Structure 1
Amino acid sequence: MDLAKRYDTKLLTVSVLVIVAMVSSLTLSPEWGKQTAFQAFQFMSLTFGSLMQIIGLSSFLLLIIISFSKYGNIRLGKESPKYSTLSWAAMMFFAGNGAGTLYWVFLEWGYHFNAQLQTNGISPNEAINYEKSLAYAIFDWGPNMWAISGLFILPFAYHYHLKKDDRLKLSQICKYAIGEKYANGIIGKVIDFLFIFATVGAMTITAGTSSSAISITLADFLNINPSFMLLSSILLLTSLLYTLSSILGIEKGMRRISDWNIYISVALLFFIFIAGPSQFIFDSLVNSIGIVANDFFRMSLWTDPILKSGYPQNWTGFYLVYFFIFGPFVGMFCAKISQGRTVKEVLIAFIIFCSLGTTIFFAVVGGYQQSIRISGGLLDVPLLLTKGEASNIASLTLQSLPFSYIPTILYILALILFLATTLDACSFTLSAVVTRNLSSSVEPSRGIKTFWCFLLLALPLALNYAEADIDTIKSIVLLTGLPLVALSFIVYKGLITEIRKEFGKLSAQEIIRKTHP
């Protein structure tokens, strides 16, 4: 078949050229690339950070309001759910940011601890700093962030299941606001390019940080030196796992890998919880949830206007954009697997399951690390971060546990599987965007998905080759994510107009009768 008839070759070509340019800037001139990225990060974080905090809280409240309004009763297709609730929830979580979670869970509280988070301009004593740093780590991966990540689920689900439009493209869910003519024209091409750009950014951050952590942990475990070749081999192994998952399809491939992820992740957390100071970890979990619940709105909107440290903009604002770049491809993927479920069920389950998962991850690992530092142990996460040894922290943490080979093997397996599921979801959605006339019952071809798989791994390799620091990573997030923020307003303007047009005059019971079998 002619490639131009099967694929949107213009969109594909532009996307490839931009990725090649980004890879070239990091490999041919790494110092220039990192410096440019740092300057871009400083400008964008201080300019848009506070605005993103407002958008983050507003997104959470918006999804809650929609879920518990009469529109929450809308059923996404009259078919029965295709996956069990556990497998469905696991795929949503692991497709979104699973590998990122396993990377940041070892580091996050340490960054907050070093920042000396203040209350009313007063620096906390060390005890309070421990408590607030862990609470902020949980908050930064909590409901606001997952609401941002799930913001595009409803637009894609409505478009796909209720409008019966198989064209799973960001431009097509914008058509309800900008019109069919513009959505299918040059404006639509630009929108779809921004979608691809953001998805590439999401995969770059996830694969770049995760592969580095796997490489160092594996090298320590095997008592060899970490190297770029080892890291490249890990990404190759991940791509092979992805290829297997892709051949099997979503039903047999990604669902099974996601199920394995659950078992391995639970085993890892259970081991740390039992081997570590269980009571302290549990108390830290309960205490952190209490702090977040009590200070939720304060933490959501804290901008530090007096001291102007820039900390909330650089971290909370950064994370909001970080989760935004996962939004479109998570929305497209979750819409595809959520047939037969109500709007309320999908949105609430996504926020609750994902927030609960990250809360437990951060509390167990962070609580264990804090207990070692408090008791005077050798593992000092804040100190290691100041020395620029972030990639070593996961390995050192696991080595401090009894029978360390068990959690180390579990961690390496979990990260590789997390990475494979995220790669699978990214490749699937990008392939769907560039494939013409893709029906609901057909997945994109294995060839195009494999093409995206290897292309998506090019930027993470470049990041590691250039030895990019945390600010370079943050700048890629902001650069690829901020355009989506503007697009989200367009998407929801059209979505709300369409939903009110179709269901606005119906009662909750009438909506149930119309959309349920």
Structure 2
Amino acid sequence: MNFKNLDHKLFWPAICFTFLSLALAVFFPESSKEVAHAGMKWVTNDIGWFIQLAGFGALVFLMWIAFSRFGHIKLGDDNDAPEFTYATYAFLIFTAGVGAALIFWAVGEPMYYMQSPPMFTEAGSAEASQWLITYTLFHWGPIGWAIFCLPAVPYAYYLHKKKKRNLRLSNLLEDVIGKKNADGPLGYFINIIAIFGTLGAFSTSMGLAVDLIGSGIEKVTGLPNDIWLQVGLIVLFIVFYAVVMLAGMKKGVAKLANWCVYAAFALGIFILLSGPTAFILSYFFDSLSVMVDNFVRMSFWSDPVEKSGFPQAWTMYYWAWYFAYLVMMGIFLARISKGRTIKELVLTTIFFGSAGCAFFIAIFGSYSVFSELTGALPVLEWMNEAGVSMAVIEVINALPFGAAILIIFLIVEFFLMSTTMTSAAVAISMMTTKELDADADPDVSVRLIWALGIGAVSMAAFFMGGSIDTIKSMCIIVGLPMIFLNILMVVCLMKWIRKDHPELFKSTVTQAAKNNAEQAEPAQAELAKVEG
């Protein structure tokens, strides 16, 4: 295999830095845990308001640019047609952003909130029950998807409009930090931290998926969900990814995303129809209305007086986690957006991402809440005794035709995580490729070596045992500088648009001058009449 196009100066330091962080967490568990958790506490408690402001600001900015005159800018040449159908495009976005963690938390979050509810409500009260699905929808809703989408717009413009074939993050920021800094130590540091954020965040997401699938295999076959089964699953992910990558984006990744979404939605519809359908629909729309009514309040709730810790442990943690995925989501969404407009990229990501998550949260979350409230299933007991993964498996297994549905569920979860792994590997491969080809695809050899790298990091994280919490805390810390990098990318984007489309800015000035002139005419006429 040919690795000449791999940016070795970026690839090896990024991998080594990640493994060094893992090694420190293993060999100095108490010290590293103390430092990482102190940093995470500072980020969520002391700077949490800024993270909330950044998340809400991302949504506001994207809505503004989508519906402004800039929203019609095509990401590519005027004659560039979209590479994928609109449905496939939406499915690729959705599967890249959710993975197997969505259903895990669709069940887990409402159960946690049932024990420790938000907004000063009492556990077990009717008032508390209205927030269970509401906050889960919020955390997987428009702000989260806006954070994913924010870096995608400048990346897509840089790749398809400016025709740049090197996607190092430092290169995108040249117009702000200067070429000297972009090619120097500062740019190098930016690139390493950006890759580390993706590797660390993805490895812990992989941990959720592997534990969930391993728990399901244990339920079906009796095989223990131990380290060997989990490592075997990671190897299977890598092999499957290699097959998908060899098939290419259209025949491999796109078809996988399509079948993933079809199968997942079919599973959701089955649960909706076989479960308490009326309750699920009623509870979902009631929760949705509560979220809409309280959206701004939830976006900025920091609880500075009572200090319950809820917004810090959940909302601020989620937003920082999303920001850590800057490279993965930014580059992957940019890669598949050729021929789309800025408006299409923004609205498809935020709307379909949020709607897809809402579908699964409504069904799996509402079904779990109904089962616990009515005593039909001891969901909380399962979760407290064996963890969220086993609680999810038991909930699925309790459905009609539970054994068969559970097998289908495990296959769907495997495919969902495979699409997320593909997105991560493709994005980091593009960033560490010296020169992308005409289709903006990295060499197969680069994609495969990153698949091995991601798999190795994930395996190392598993062998760390409890130290994985240290890496999770470090990812949250990394999310903070990613916010500033996002802001710099937005500044660069507006500079590029001003340079490439000066007519959009001139028309604004012209229209403003025209409006001022029209307003001034009656006053001038009246003044002339008085003087006359």
TM-score normalized by the length of structure 2: 0.90
Range with bigger deviation, 439-448 or 309-318: 439-448
Quote the offset at 1:453 in angstroms: 1.1
Question: Please, which runs of 5 or more residues in structure 1 have no aligned partner?
Answer: 511-517
Partners of 1:67 and 1:281 in 2: how far apart? 33
Find the residue that maps to 1:247 and give its secondary structure: helix
Quote the offset at 1:28 in angstroms: 4.6
Quote the offset at 1:494 in angstroms: 1.8
Q: Which amino acid aligns with 1:505?
A: E
Q: Which residue of 2 aligns with 1:501?
A: 499
Change (3 A) 1:231 1:367: same
For the 8 Å contact 1:34–1:468, the answer to whether it is kept is no
Find the residue that maps to 1:107 and give its secondary structure: helix
Instruction: List per-residue Cα deviations over 1:295-324 (Å, max 9, x = no partner).
Output: 100010111111012210221001111111
Q: Which residue of 2 aligns with 1:444?
A: 442
Q: Which residue of 1 aligns with 2:524?
A: none
Quote the offset at 1:40 in angstroms: 3.4
Partners of 2:232 and 2:334 in 1: how far apart? 33
Quote the offset at 1:420 in angstroms: 1.3
Q: Which residue of 2 aligns with 1:515?
A: none
Q: Which residue of 2 aligns with 1:213?
A: 212
Find the residue that maps to 2:377 and give its secondary structure: coil
Quote the offset at 1:127 in angstroms: 1.9
Instruction: List per-residue Cα deviations over 1:34-57 (Å, max 9, x = no partner).
Output: 555434332332122221111111
Quote the offset at 1:31 in angstroms: 5.9
Partners of 1:60 and 1:281 in 2: how far apart? 28
For the 8 Å contact 1:70–1:508, the answer to whether it is kept is no
2:396 maps to 1:367: no
Change (3 A) 1:113 1:469: farther
Instruction: List per-residue Cα deviations over 1:354-402 (Å, max 9, x = no partner).
Output: 0001111111001000111111123233x44444622211111112211
Alignment of 1:44-123 (within 5 A): 44-77=43-76, 78=78, 79-118=80-119, 121=120, 123=122
Which structure has the larger Rg?
2
Find the residue that maps to 1:198 and give its secondary structure: helix
Identical amino acids, percent of aligned pairs: 29
Q: Which residue of 1 aligns with 2:192?
A: 193
Quote the offset at 1:96 in angstroms: 2.0
Quote the offset at 1:275 in angstroms: 1.5
For the 8 Å contact 1:107–1:390, the answer to whether it is kept is yes
Change (3 A) 1:494 1:442: closer
Q: Which residue of 1 aligns with 2:391?
A: 393
Q: Which amino acid aligns with 1:346?
A: L
Match of 1:430 among 428, 431, 452: 428
Alignment of 1:283-432 (within 5 A): 283-381=282-380, 383-387=381-385, 389-432=387-430
Range with bigger deviation, 266-275 or 456-465: 456-465
Instruction: List per-residue Cα deviations over 1:207-264 (Å, max 9, x = no partner).
Output: 1111111111111111232111111111111111100011111111100110110111
Partners of 1:376 and 1:188 in 2: how far apart? 56
Instruction: List per-residue Cα deviations over 1:333-356 (Å, max 9, x = no partner).
Output: 111111111111110111000000
Quote the offset at 1:147 in angstroms: 0.2
Partners of 2:90 and 2:264 in 1: how far apart? 14
Change (3 A) 1:103 1:458: farther
Quote the offset at 1:469 in angstroms: 8.2
Partners of 1:277 and 1:188 in 2: how far apart? 54
TM-score normalized by the length of structure 1: 0.92
Q: Which amino acid aligns with 2:206?
A: A
Quote the offset at 1:201 in angstroms: 1.9
Partners of 1:25 and 1:462 in 2: how far apart? 12
Change (3 A) 1:33 1:24: same
Change (3 A) 1:460 1:102: farther
Partners of 2:301 and 2:469 in 1: how far apart? 21
Q: Which residue of 1 aligns with 2:262?
A: 263
Q: Which residue of 2 aligns with 1:165?
A: 164
Quote the offset at 1:480 in angstroms: 3.1
2:464 maps to 1:477: no
Q: Which amino acid aligns with 1:96?
A: G
Partners of 1:344 and 1:406 in 2: how far apart? 42
Partners of 1:24 and 1:341 in 2: how far apart? 43
Partners of 1:476 and 1:379 in 2: how far apart? 34
Partners of 1:157 and 1:456 in 2: how far apart? 24
For the 8 Å contact 1:261–1:417, the answer to whether it is kept is yes
For the 8 Å contact 1:49–1:314, the answer to whether it is kept is no
For the 8 Å contact 1:207–1:457, the answer to whether it is kept is no
For the 8 Å contact 1:202–1:325, the answer to whether it is kept is yes
Q: Which residue of 2 aligns with 1:154?
A: 153
For the 8 Å contact 2:73–2:342, the answer to whether it is kept is yes
Q: Which residue of 2 aligns with 1:242?
A: 241
For the 8 Å contact 2:131–2:287, the answer to whether it is kept is yes
Change (3 A) 1:27 1:416: farther
Partners of 1:221 and 1:30 in 2: how far apart? 35
Alignment of 1:116-135 (within 5 A): 116-118=117-119, 121=120, 123=122, 126-135=125-134
Partners of 2:477 and 2:28 in 1: how far apart? 19
Range with bigger deviation, 215-224 or 68-77: 215-224
Range with bigger deviation, 395-404 or 58-67: 395-404
Range with bigger deviation, 450-459 or 391-400: 450-459
Partners of 1:368 and 1:452 in 2: how far apart? 39
For the 8 Å contact 2:117–2:131, the answer to whether it is kept is no
Q: Which residue of 1 aligns with 2:523?
A: none
Quote the offset at 1:422 in angstroms: 1.3
Q: Which amino acid aligns with 1:445?
A: D
Instruction: List per-residue Cα deviations over 1:258-310 (Å, max 9, x = no partner).
Output: 01101110121112111210110111111111011111000101111110122
Partners of 1:241 and 1:193 in 2: how far apart? 27
Q: Which residue of 2 aligns with 1:458?
A: 456
For the 8 Å contact 2:331–2:430, the answer to whether it is kept is no
For the 8 Å contact 2:201–2:472, the answer to whether it is kept is no
Q: Which amino acid aligns with 2:126?
A: A
Partners of 1:279 and 1:73 in 2: how far apart? 41
Q: CA RMSD in A?
A: 2.3
Change (3 A) 1:102 1:373: closer
Q: Which amino acid aligns with 1:97?
A: V
Partners of 1:469 and 1:391 in 2: how far apart? 19
Find the residue that maps to 2:303 and give its secondary structure: coil
Quote the offset at 1:173 in angstroms: 1.5
For the 8 Å contact 1:96–1:326, the answer to whether it is kept is no
For the 8 Å contact 2:204–2:468, the answer to whether it is kept is no
Range with bigger deviation, 369-378 or 53-62: 369-378
Partners of 2:41 and 2:334 in 1: how far apart? 35
For the 8 Å contact 2:102–2:357, the answer to whether it is kept is yes
Range with bigger deviation, 187-196 or 22-31: 22-31
